[in-house]
Amino acid sequence: MAADARAALLAWYDAHKRDLPWRRTRDPYAIWVSEIMCQQTRVDTVIPYYHRFLERFPTAAELAAASEDEVLGLWSGLGYYRRARLLHRGVKEVVATYGGKVPAEREARLGLPGVGKYTAGAIGSIAFDAEEPIVDGNVARVLARRHRVATPLGAKETEKRLWELAGELVKGPRPGDLNQALMELGATVCTPKNPRCEGCPVQASCGAHAAGEVDALPVPKKRKKPKLVHAVAVVATVGTPAKVWLVRGERALFGGLWSVPMVETAAPQLSLLAGPASARGEGVRSDAHADPKDAPAGRDAAFAALANVGVKARVKEKAGYVEHVLSHRHLKIDVWRAVAARGRDGLAELRAATREEVGARGFGVSRLTKKILDAALG
Ligand code: SF4
């Protein structure tokens, strides 16, 4: 990109940038948090989470010292919880290996859990003024249009080309602002639909605009439809006031978040919802998950879901039905109720909690679990 287009982008950014909280800091840790939160999540949604998170964990050391429960609790509602766990792990490594300071060297940053080219480049350019490119969805759209990249997003050759273009562009003064200008342009002007080319600082040199191809570029990624998954979830209560048995870890759908026991009933990837049979303890029916064709249904599935996680209970009746769409899975879940439940001792990833406890801030629970509890308990 010619130097004048680069200058135009920076001038436009200075005049039009949104006042976002992470744009008021050069702290690499805070920028890291913001970049992870903003992945696949709207800026408006992120802002209150960002404030709460940094109020509670103002430094890498404070985040590193926190329990995963607390971290996931503060993340609850933002989705994509794997991001939070990786951020937590990455920050722990920064504290253990780099004395709590996010490393200025790109290679060291790239070695941290959860830090790929994009995050490393964002931290490098914004916090350390390094000429490191970034390509996110917004940048990809701007570059693909401006340079008429006509291969589909996500394809290897496209990614390579876009990173090369971003790499050329970032060279020069204010690399962090240049990267943010490109992201901002993509977010506010060069939008997926109805881009406002008349207000675009690089219109004069935009290939797609000149060729009348703006609506045709970028060529979208070929998306797979979310996979349809049928499952049974069990809300098993114990005691008065009633507590619900919850599970997390490798036996749970969302890893670090608490959810009710579940088992897939009609599709092949049973292991996504249930841990290995050998680790499940008492009451496991050895034939329950041997083959997807033999996957249990209804009451049997509810029994299996409980047995998988070491909970003994009397399965009562089907209490409701919940649908939940994730990026790659469309879940159709029959919700069953069970009572007189008893959890098997010695499983760290199993606990019983009241509705109030589950609803409290800081309790790491997914929205899906809340929907399931509503379906069963009202
Ligand atoms: S001129 Fe239009 S298509 Fe080209 S970069 Fe600007 S907003 Fe995007």
Q: Which of 165, 189, 206 to mutate to test the pocket of ligand 1 (most atoms within 8 A of CB)?
A: 206
Per-residue pLDDT, 277: 32
Report the C-alpha dihedral over residues 96, 99, 101, 104, rounded to 10 degrees: -90
What is the per-residue pLDDT for 294? 41
Alpha carbon separation from 192 to 195, 225, 347 (Å, rounded): 7, 20, 48
Size of the chain, expressed as the number of residues it contains: 378
Q: Closest Cα partner for 373 from 327, 337, 324, 323?
A: 337
How far away, in angstroms, is 13 Cα from ligand 1 center? Answer: 15
Short-list 110, 109, 116, CA closest to 135:
116
Helix H or strand E segment including 257: none
Q: Give 182's contacts (C-beta < 8 A, 6+ positions apart).
A: 9, 138, 139, 142, 143, 166, 169
**Which residue's C-alpha comes closest to atom 4 of ligand 1?**
206
Q: Per-residue confidence at 284, pLDDT binned at 50, 70, 90?
A: very low
Question: What integer pLDDT is reported at residue 209 of this predicted model?
Answer: 97
| Interval 233-245: pLDDT, tens | 999 999 888 999 9
pTM of the model: 0.69
Note the pLDDT of residue 378. 81
pLDDT value, residue 326: 84
Least confidently predicted of 11-15, 104-108, 116-120, 322-326: 322-326
Residue 133: cis peptide before it, omega within 30 degrees of 0: no
Q: Which atom of ligand 1 is nearest to the CA of 203?
A: 1
Mean pLDDT within 84-107? 97
Ligand 1 center–CA 195 separation, angstroms: 7
Q: Between these two residues, 255 and 117, which has the higher pLDDT value?
A: 117
Domains and CATH numbers, the chain: 3-216 (1.10.340.30), 227-377 (3.90.79.10)
Q: Give me ligand 1 centre to Cα 142, in Å.
A: 7
Q: What is the pLDDT of residues 181-240, one digit of tens each?
A: 999 999 999 999 999 999 999 999 999 999 999 999 999 988 778 889 899 999 999 988
The pLDDT of residue 17 is above 50: yes
Mean pLDDT of 123-129: 98
Using a 6 Å cutoff on CB, does residue 200 contact ligand 1?
yes
Nearest ligand 1 atom to the CA of 142 is: 5
Closest CA to 264 of 236, 214, 227: 227
Residue 122: φ, ψ to 5°: -65, -45
* Residue 147 Cβ contacting ligand 1 at under 6 Å: no
Residue 327 has a pLDDT of 77
Q: What is the pLDDT of residues 257-267, one digit of tens each?
A: 889 999 988 64
Catalytic residue flag (residue 105): no
Binning pLDDT at 50, 70 and 90, where does residue 279 land? very low
pLDDT of res. 14: 97
Mean pLDDT throughout 58-85? 92
Task: Compute the distance from residue 172 Cα to the ligand 1 centre, in Å.
Answer: 22
pLDDT, tens digit, 9 for 90 and up, residues 343-365: 765 556 888 999 999 988 778 88
Sequence-ordered list of residues with C-beta below 8 angstroms from that of 110, at least 6 positions apart, any chain: 116, 117, 120
